[in-house]
């Protein structure tokens, strides 16, 4: 059969769905079933997972997104629901039997060359189909075959990718070594044509999806060559779609390799946030605390989307939110303060939570905080109510303890007093436009001796110097 015809038949059968499975199971014994039957069965059995994808169910990154979905739901090598698993396992068992028959026939030395080629083609088709079917029945037979010289390199790489996409953890050192040797052979070429370059990019990602302790070289060795061949954006997209713990570590390495390129750093930082999960939020808190996430020249506009993603991903885990806010406070820079305030804003945090965060950040011992960082607290005195489209209404909220803390800093002679005075004036100006909360006194410290007018009339709050 002409290969394009097989592709068209597979797509038509996939649209037909599970109703096509009985006919395909009947055709599985056909001598030419490897042309399209096995692939069509695997495609149909993957449809329940594809239907759960939030974005387009097809495309170059859809398999990686399905892999991430399997890990999140705790169902590697399984269907999303148990009621689909019985039929899936039965089909996988039938294909395993066909694979064993083909392997036994191949061992017969009397088999002619043409028949041997057909058997090898059938074995490759069965291996690729079983690797894609969400059933643990086919995992061990597939691993055994691809570790042998029966299948070619391309079939081995495709089968390994399919098993990894299904969430299977492969810890076979001999298989890892074989793939790394293949990678070394391709990397030795100074130039690769378009087809081989695509294969090399796919192989680079495959190698880096294994546990890094199994690799014969540091992960950075493979990552740098992959980036040189594919470009950092393509690498980031693949790692972010996969969302695995290994992918998070690689994105962290890419962040340190940005070398002052603020645009590249921001894109990598957002890719890191898109991989946040219950497995790596502690690692994310580490790179926030030590400043790796922000960088020396990073702009802060993208942190709005970062805070939204962090809240949507781990906002339901109190220990994760507390750890990330603590990391922002320990970082102490404007970027850390901005991310912490944005996250508190997303959470609609209480005045007490905002006060505790500000107490840690605005202390004299925080030498990393610049005056501009104090202004980030302004957003905690208001709440934006979304209206139609991009429009929103500014609603004042009372943050009395936070406001009292800022006032005490403004009344002092610390290095942040001028910045605190400016913040108070900006809040008061917005209060006159949008109104004052009923439970907020005009003076932040009713028992204090410093007048509010003295703060508003100081040189730090005047638009022009005296």
Give the DSSP per-residue string, 234-280.
HHHHHHHHH--HHHHHHHHHHHHTSTT-HHHHHHHHHHHHHT--TTT
Give the DSSP per-residue string, 208-245.
HTS-GGGSSS-HHHHHHHHHHHH-HHHHHHHHHHH--H
Last residue of a domain, one of 197, 226, 257: 257
Distances (CA, A) of 32 to 115, 219, 348, 392: 12, 42, 62, 63
Same domain? For 204 and 128 the reply is: no
Same domain? For 50 and 198 the reply is: no
What are the φ/ψ torsions at residue 120 (nearest 5 degrees)? -65, -40
Instruction: Give the number of domains in the chain.
Output: 2
Task: Say which residue the tokens 């061949």 belong to.
Answer: 229
Same domain? For 122 and 191 the reply is: no
Q: What integer pLDDT is reported at residue 466 of this predicted model?
A: 35
Three-state SS for 298? coil
Collect all residues with Cβ–Cβ distance below 8 Å to 233 and sequence separation of at least 6. 267
- Taking the C-alpha atoms of residue 324 and residue 281, their distance in angstroms, rounded to an integer, is 8
Same domain? For 134 and 237 the reply is: no
Burial class (CB in 10 A: 0-12, 13-18, 19+), 259: exposed
Residue 118 lies in a domain: yes
Q: What integer pLDDT is reported at residue 48 of this predicted model?
A: 93
pLDDT digits (tens, 9 = 90+) for 12-27: 888 888 999 999 999 9
Helices (H), 133-152: 139-146
Residues β-bridged to residue 392: 386
Collect all residues with Cβ–Cβ distance below 8 Å to 79 and sequence separation of at least 6. 45, 48, 49, 85, 88, 134, 135
Element (H, E) at 136: none
Element (H, E) at 28: none
Give the count of beta carbons closer than 10 Å to the beta carbon of residue 435.
11
Q: What integer pLDDT is reported at residue 214 of this predicted model?
A: 93
Helices (H), 348-398: 351-361, 371-374
Last residue of a domain, one of 135, 150, 170: 170
Residue 337 lies in a domain: no
Same domain? For 164 and 214 the reply is: no
Same domain? For 227 and 244 the reply is: yes
Q: What integer pLDDT is reported at residue 459 of this predicted model?
A: 54
* Low pLDDT (below 70) residues in the chain: 1-4, 55-60, 259, 296-299, 364, 458-466
Residue 380 lies in a domain: no
Last residue of a domain, one of 229, 257, 285: 257
Same domain? For 67 and 175 the reply is: no
Element (H, E) at 392: strand 392-396
Give the count of beta carbons closer than 10 Å to the beta carbon of residue 339.
26
Query: Which of these, 459, 445, 350, 432, lies nearest to 405 by C-alpha position?
Result: 445
Query: Which of these, 455, 379, 380, 454, lies nearest to 422 by C-alpha position?
Result: 455
Q: What integer pLDDT is reported at residue 113 of this predicted model?
A: 83
**Residue 53 DSSP code:** -
Q: Residue 250 belongs to what domain range? A: 171-257
Query: Which of these, 401, 381, 380, 396, lies nearest to 445 by C-alpha position?
Result: 401
Same domain? For 135 and 181 the reply is: no
Same domain? For 45 and 147 the reply is: yes
Residue 252 lies in a domain: yes
Q: Are 383 and 349 in contact (CB under 8 A)?
A: no
Same domain? For 20 and 143 the reply is: yes
Q: Are 443 and 450 in contact (CB under 8 A)?
A: no
pTM of this structure = 0.82
Please provide the distance, in angstroms rounded to a whole number, between the alpha carbons at the two ends of the chain: 88
Residue 45 lies in a domain: yes
Burial class (CB in 10 A: 0-12, 13-18, 19+), 192: middle
Same domain? For 124 and 187 the reply is: no
Q: What integer pLDDT is reported at residue 464 of this predicted model?
A: 36
- Taking the C-alpha atoms of residue 272 and residue 243, their distance in angstroms, rounded to an integer, is 9
- Taking the C-alpha atoms of residue 384 and residue 434, their distance in angstroms, rounded to an integer, is 12
Q: What integer pLDDT is reported at residue 463 of this predicted model?
A: 47
Same domain? For 197 and 145 the reply is: no
Phi-psi region of 59 (alpha: psi -120 to 50; beta: other; left: phi over 0): left
Residue 307 lies in a domain: no
Residue 239 lies in a domain: yes
Task: Say which residue the tokens 């909360």 belong to.
Answer: 437
pLDDT digits (tens, 9 = 90+) for 347-373: 999 999 999 999 999 876 778 788 888
Q: What integer pLDDT is reported at residue 230 of this predicted model?
A: 86
**Residue 412 DSSP code:** S
Q: What integer pLDDT is reported at residue 204 of this predicted model?
A: 94
Residue 218 lies in a domain: yes
């Amino acid at each position: 059969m002409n290969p394009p015809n097989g592709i068209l038949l597979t797509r038509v059968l996939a649209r037909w769905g599970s109703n096509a499975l009985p006919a395909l199971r009947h055709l599985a014994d056909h001598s030419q079933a490897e042309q399209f039957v096995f692939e069509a069965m695997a495609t149909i059995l993957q449809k329940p997972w594809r239907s759960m994808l939030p974005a387009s169910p097809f495309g170059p990154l859809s398999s990686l997104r399905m892999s991430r979905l399997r890990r999140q739901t705790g169902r590697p090598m399984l269907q999303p629901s148990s009621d689909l698993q019985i039929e899936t396992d039965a089909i996988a068992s039938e294909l395993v039997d066909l694979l064993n028959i083909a392997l036994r026939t191949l061992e017969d030395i009397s088999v002619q060359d043409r028949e041997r080629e057909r058997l090898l083609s059938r074995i490759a088709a069965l291996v690729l189909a079983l690797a894609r079917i969400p059933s643990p029945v086919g995992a061990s037979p597939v691993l055994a075959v691809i570790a042998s010289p029966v299948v070619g390199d391309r079939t081995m790489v495709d089968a390994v990718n399919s098993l990894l996409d299904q969430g299977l953890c492969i810890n076979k050192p001999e298989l890892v070594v074989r793939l790394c040797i293949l990678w070394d052979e391709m990397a030795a070429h100074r130039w690769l044509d378009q087809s081989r370059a695509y294969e090399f990019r796919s192989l680079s990602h495959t190698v880096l999806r294994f546990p890094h302790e199994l690799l014969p070289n540091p992960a950075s060795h493979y990552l740098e060559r992959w980036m040189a061949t594919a470009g950092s954006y393509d690498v980031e997209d693949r790692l972010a779609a996969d969302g695995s713990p290994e992918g998070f570590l690689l994105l962290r390495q890419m962040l340190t390799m940005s070398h002052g390129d603020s645009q590249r750093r921001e894109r990598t930082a957002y890719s890191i946030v898109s991989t946040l999960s219950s497995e790596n939020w502690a690692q994310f808190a580490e790179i926030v605390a030590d400043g790796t996430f922000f960088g020396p020249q990073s702009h802060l506009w993208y942190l709005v989307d970062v805070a939204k993603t962090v809240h949507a991903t781990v906002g339901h885990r109190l220990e994760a939110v507390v750890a990330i806010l603590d990391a922002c406070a320990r970082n102490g820079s404007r970027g850390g303060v901005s991310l912490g305030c944005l996250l508190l804003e997303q959470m609609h945090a209480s005045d007490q939570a905002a006060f505790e965060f500000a107490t840690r950040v605005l202390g004299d011992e925080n030498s990393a905080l610049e005056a501009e960082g104090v202004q980030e607290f302004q957003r905690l005195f208001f709440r934006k109510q979304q209206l139609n489209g991009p429009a929103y209404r500014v609603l004042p909220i009372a943050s009395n303890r936070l406001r009292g803390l800022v006032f005490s800093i403004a009344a002092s002679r610390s290095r942040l007093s001028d910045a605190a005075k400016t913040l108070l004036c900006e809040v008061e100006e917005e209060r006159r436009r949008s109104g004052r909360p009923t439970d907020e006194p005009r003076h932040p410290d009713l028992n204090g001796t410093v007048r509010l007018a003295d703060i508003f009339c100081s040189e730090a709050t005047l638009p022009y110097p005296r």
